[in-house]
Structure 1
Amino acid sequence: MSPSPHRRPTARRRLALAGVATVVAAGLGAVPLIVTAGAAAPAGLAHGALPAGDGWAASGAGTTGGRAADASRVFTVSTRAALAKALTAGPAGAPRIIRVKGMIDANTDDSGTPLTCSDHAAGTGYSLDAYLRAYDPSSWGRAKLPAGPQENARGAAQARQAARMVFTVPARTTVIGVPGTGAGITGGSLVVKNADNVIIRNLLLTDVRDCFPQWDPTDGSTGNWNSAYDAVSLRGATHVWVDHNSFSDSPHHDAASPSHFGRKYQVHDGALDITNASDLVTVGYNTFDNHDKTMLIGSSDKDTKLRVTLHHNVFRGVVQRAPLARVGRIHLYDNLYDTAERAGYAHSYSLNSRAGAQVVAENNHWRLSPDRKVSQLLDGDGTGAVAGRGDLVDGKPADPVAAYNAANPGKKIKTSVSWKPTLSAGLEPAAGLPAKLAAKAGAGVLTESGSTSAPAPSAPAPVRARTGPS
């Protein structure tokens, strides 16, 4: 739950076998995992590794993910059950490549039947109506967290949903979408926890909804509904490359959610959160569309490490946290921001530097909607720093830090940092970003060779109908 407020390429491995591996999990039956090899294996993409100098994740030995996987550990999956088994198949720590083919619905049972929120809650005793009656601030008050039978039932229902839609990604793993298949995961959360050397590429990651948000009357002056899942969550993770993915709440946007106790019933949390002393992370060429709390770097003001590079990403219809940075050393370059409201998501700020974060922001490009000001692009608590240069607003040189400080003299953002980026592959002037990133950012533009082809979708959505959660 989120609070409000460099590289050495190895020789390309040739695969010599092809076959089908069946992995059996206790009590779950057999699910075929297609192992691709030889001429059928897209060695240029699935066996790709982070290029030299490409951000913090290129530090040291770099980030190779599952590149060293042999033929028996290259899986092609197209169902939730197959994805779950591929992530746990074989010895722990051995490299693996998981090729996602088509769109996987995470809220399904083992036969692929969609599951609704009611299915997850069945047998737990939870109902939203009962929960609202139990914790109405007029009777429960606003000084303590919910406790008792309905909160216990909510927790049990949430745990049942998590068992279906949370996927733990182990060390030395590549999870990658197969080009040309609309590859991705809807309603699922990829969690990289205390694991090193992970690659996540070329995936549509949509509609990660928590069926059972918790009411917290102590969160802020009026309380808040808090949900539990991010599309991608890095917790104590190191050497992670997140590349050419498309994140979105589509097709279930926040505007359609009701309000309870005077607050929006928030079923989405982060798109990509980097917390709990995660370190050496590169996030490049992704698109973030139609989302509120987009990217949190640092789980608290006492977090540690958090060396993260964000470059050539596109943020559209994003309310806030693009990113919200605490504590760490963040390099933010060549990103494109569009502040126009989309699907009910109205811009609040783009970058928030707080809790002593040291951000170097250079050559970023903002498209400013008529309702927003340059001074509203940043936020902070008076302890964070942003060393900016080369940024543009609507194609013209601008200084968002100076504009923010002039408007907020009581909590100025510091303008100097104690470190200098050296891993800045692809750093370029901001003027050409709108045209370039329209064709090269997001899922669906990578080919088997690893080059880019067609433009990315501007509003990714699941490729097949689904009924839950609801």
Structure 2
Amino acid sequence: MNAYSWHGHAITRSAIARRTAVLAGCTALVLGLTGTTGAGAQAQGRDLGRQVLAAGDGWGSQGAGTTGGSAADAAHVHTVTTWEEFQAALKEGGSAPRIIKVKGMIDAVSQGCDAFAAEGYDFQQYLADYDPAVWGNDTPVSGEQEDLRDASADNQGKAIKVSVPANTTIVGVGKGSGILGGSLQIRGVDNVILRNLTVEAPIDCFPQWDPTDGTTGAWNSEYDGVVVYGSTHVWLDHNTFTDGRHPDSSLPSYFGEIYQQHDGLVDIVRGANHVTVSWNSFEDHDKTMLIGNSDSAAADDTGKLKVTLHHNRFEGIVERAPRVRFGQVDSYNNHFVVTEDQPYVYTFGIGIESRLYATDNAFSLPKGVSPARTLKKWKEAPLTAENNYVNGRLTDLIAVHNAEIPEETLQSGAGWTPTLRTKVDSPRAVPWIVDTHAGAGRLR
């Protein structure tokens, strides 16, 4: 596969790093945690596409539960090895149950960014036209090159966004299977499962310069790896979500600001409900996960956005793990790893009318990063944060936050208690358990 080359900036493709395989003697630790009864039985030859979310396993199991395409007949089981085959499999068969098996890494942008550029678009001219020294910082950009940039972005969006139908299971085959640069849109449907996939975040080939964003302007990008928009009963399990070949550190700067080409990894928004996110690895990304994307979305989101996050690993994540608005979000037995050389802002974002219940998690923080920074208050909303461990020590995250950041005093007590939990592991054991078993390629 070729490296991307855009605006004279080449980014070499490297293999997406994977951690070591599950130790053979550790199989018992995942029993009952990855789907239907007996993950050990699943691990020994059962078809991943036929597995369903276990009863009681998070908000995704509420009501009718999440079964995806497990009931698909033989005609609706597809194995795909290219982006074009993947698109065709998603469109075929209406809402009939389907299983799509992704074999190998399939690339949504193998032709490179230049293939999407509208005729006449010239990035160097774009920079010349909208340089703050010429355009200023008071007015959003407009004119020919902005129109052509927008048309180019529209071309890319049509190429890389795909709609996932109801009653669908998408699974990676073995290790090292997944999607490069595509955006999976789970919009307005019910009953979807994504498992065992490595999803490399899409690169926005045509970010927009907004001179009015902040005091000096900023580059803004589109395209999330996975969007759950107004959909219900969704299970994301044993996937790896990452910037992969294109970390922010590889991106250039223009007008003194990073040329940001990433948006979110997984966003759950606009009335989405009953979602379980389990045993995934989120790696090397800035704005990772929104649960609720607007303070003004009360009409869509009130009483919804019920999401469970458990046994996920977050490493090299700058912020939004997750940022929550409105929803009753249950976060337990996750491992949050802040590396020594990464930028870091916060882990849990407390937003408008949110009710976060975060317990039994483990944090690994380097010297100089206080546990107070794991919480960030955006709007007044109570939360529960109990029995969390930081570097192996029991830590009251709310108390530490309030003591060190008194201007953002948080209220304790989310006002509800989760009932849809499977086994809750000791947070002392979470780093080993999660680091060993979370992510794509860890299901056997």
- What TM-score, normalized to structure 2? 0.87
The answer for the alignment partner of 2:395 in structure 1 is 398
1:358 equivalent among 345, 355, 358 = 355
> Which residue identity does 1:202 align to in structure 2?
N
1:309 Cα deviation (Å)?
0.7
Does the 8 Å CA contact 2:201/2:224 hold for their aligned counterparts?
Answer: no
Is 1:298 equivalent to 2:300 in the alignment? no
1:420 Cα deviation (Å)?
1.6
Residues 370-423 of structure 1 show CA distances to partners (whole Å, capped at 9, x for unaligned) of 120111111012412220111000111001111111122222122112222110
Q: What is the alpha-carbon distance in structure 2 between the residues aligned to residue 426 and residue 124 of structure 1?
A: 56
Residues 323-376 of structure 1 show CA distances to partners (whole Å, capped at 9, x for unaligned) of 11111111010000111146xx42211111111211000000001101201111
Structure 1 runs, 4 residues or longer, greater than 3 Å off = none
Superposition pairs of residues 218-233 of structure 1, within 5 angstroms? 218-233=212-227
The answer for the alignment partner of 1:440 in structure 2 is 437
2:274 partner SS: strand
1:140 Cα deviation (Å)?
2.1
> Which residue identity does 1:72 align to in structure 2?
A
2:398 partner SS: helix
Q: What is the alpha-carbon distance in structure 2 between the residues aligned to residue 269 and residue 158 of structure 1?
A: 14
Superposition pairs of residues 314-463 of structure 1, within 5 angstroms? 314-341=313-340, 345-447=342-444
- What TM-score, normalized to structure 1? 0.82
Is 1:152 equivalent to 2:155 in the alignment? no
Is 1:133 equivalent to 2:128 in the alignment? yes
The answer for the alignment partner of 1:81 in structure 2 is 84
Superposition pairs of residues 36-115 of structure 1, within 5 angstroms? 44-90=47-93, 92-107=94-109, 114-115=110-111
1:64 partner SS: coil
Does the 8 Å CA contact 2:36/2:53 hold for their aligned counterparts?
Answer: no
Residues 152-198 of structure 1 show CA distances to partners (whole Å, capped at 9, x for unaligned) of 11111112112221111111111110124x11001111110111110
Is 1:270 equivalent to 2:264 in the alignment? yes
1:179 partner SS: coil
Does the 8 Å CA contact 2:36/2:55 hold for their aligned counterparts?
Answer: no
The answer for the alignment partner of 1:16 in structure 2 is none
Does the 8 Å CA contact 2:316/2:338 hold for their aligned counterparts?
Answer: yes
Gaps of 5+ in 1: 1-8, 12-41, 108-113, 448-470
1:331 partner SS: strand
1:199 Cα deviation (Å)?
0.5
Does the 8 Å CA contact 2:201/2:265 hold for their aligned counterparts?
Answer: no
Is 1:201 equivalent to 2:195 in the alignment? yes
The answer for the alignment partner of 1:462 in structure 2 is none
The answer for the alignment partner of 2:119 in structure 1 is 124
The answer for the alignment partner of 1:244 in structure 2 is 238
1:128 Cα deviation (Å)?
1.7
1:131 Cα deviation (Å)?
1.4
Percent identical: 44
Q: What is the alpha-carbon distance in structure 2 between the residues aligned to residue 242 and residue 219 of structure 1?
A: 33
1:228 partner SS: coil
Q: What is the alpha-carbon distance in structure 1 between the residues aligned to residue 359 and residue 414 of structure 2?
A: 13
> Which residue identity does 2:314 align to in structure 1?
F
Q: What is the alpha-carbon distance in structure 1 between the residues aligned to residue 226 and residue 334 of structure 2?
A: 19
Q: What is the alpha-carbon distance in structure 2 between the residues aligned to residue 234 and residue 358 of structure 1?
A: 19
Is 1:165 equivalent to 2:160 in the alignment? yes
Does the 8 Å CA contact 1:207/1:251 hold for their aligned counterparts?
Answer: no
1:276 Cα deviation (Å)?
1.3
Q: What is the alpha-carbon distance in structure 2 between the residues aligned to residue 419 and residue 124 of structure 1?
A: 55
2:69 partner SS: coil
1:238 Cα deviation (Å)?
1.0
1:217 to 1:426, Cα distance in 2 relative to 1, 3 A = farther
Q: What is the alpha-carbon distance in structure 1 between the residues aligned to residue 181 and residue 97 of structure 2?
A: 26
Q: What is the alpha-carbon distance in structure 2 between the residues aligned to residue 268 and residue 396 of structure 1?
A: 34
Report how many aligned residue pairs link the two structures: 398
Gaps of 5+ in 2: 1-34, 38-44
Does the 8 Å CA contact 2:321/2:347 hold for their aligned counterparts?
Answer: yes
Does the 8 Å CA contact 1:354/1:385 hold for their aligned counterparts?
Answer: no
